[in-house]
Amino acid sequence: MANHKYGIALCLYYFGLLAGLEGDSDQATIFFEQGLALAHTTGPIWYRADVLMGLAGVAASGGQALRAARLLGAANTQLEAGASYWNAAENLYIERAIASAVAQLGETEFATAHDEGRDMTFEQAADYALEIEPSA
């Protein structure tokens, strides 16, 4: 059953990525949040990075630049811990999120928020990603 959960988690992530790239933030959020729930117990560390990055993109497209920057920082920490990388489609998604967040915040504030995210544990980042009313 664990293998099935991992397969479901990957499908949720890629469905979220596709929805996000097509501009459907509401559907992307649903897929990424469901994937995040599985990331606690399923799959490798790099999967945690993927769903956090996905939610960062949704935040950036929704005008929540500070949230996006922090989630991108947290995603980068998970990616490094998993000794992994993002593919071309994921890089496109990330570049959009970064460009949007930097345009809203400026480079200095983006860098500060990104560093704050890098200092989060996965559990802290997951809780932050799932806040209904984000504090910042």
Ranges of H-type helices in the chain: 2-21, 25-39, 45-61, 65-81, 88-105, 107-118, 122-129
* Alpha-carbon distances, residue 135 vs 10, 25, 44, 60, 104 (angstroms): 29, 20, 29, 15, 17
pLDDT digit string, tens, across residues 46-104: 888 899 999 999 999 999 999 999 999 999 998 888 777 788 888 888 899 999 999 99
Residue 18: both structure tokens together = 């596709």
Task: Give the separation between CA 113 and CA 5, rounded to whole angstroms.
Answer: 32
Specify the higher pLDDT residue, 99 or 45: 99
What pTM was estimated for this model as a whole? 0.86
pLDDT tens, position by position, 102-118: 999 999 999 999 999 99
Nearest to 62 by CA among 20, 18, 9, 10: 20
- What's the pLDDT band for 135 if we cut at 50, 70, 90? very low
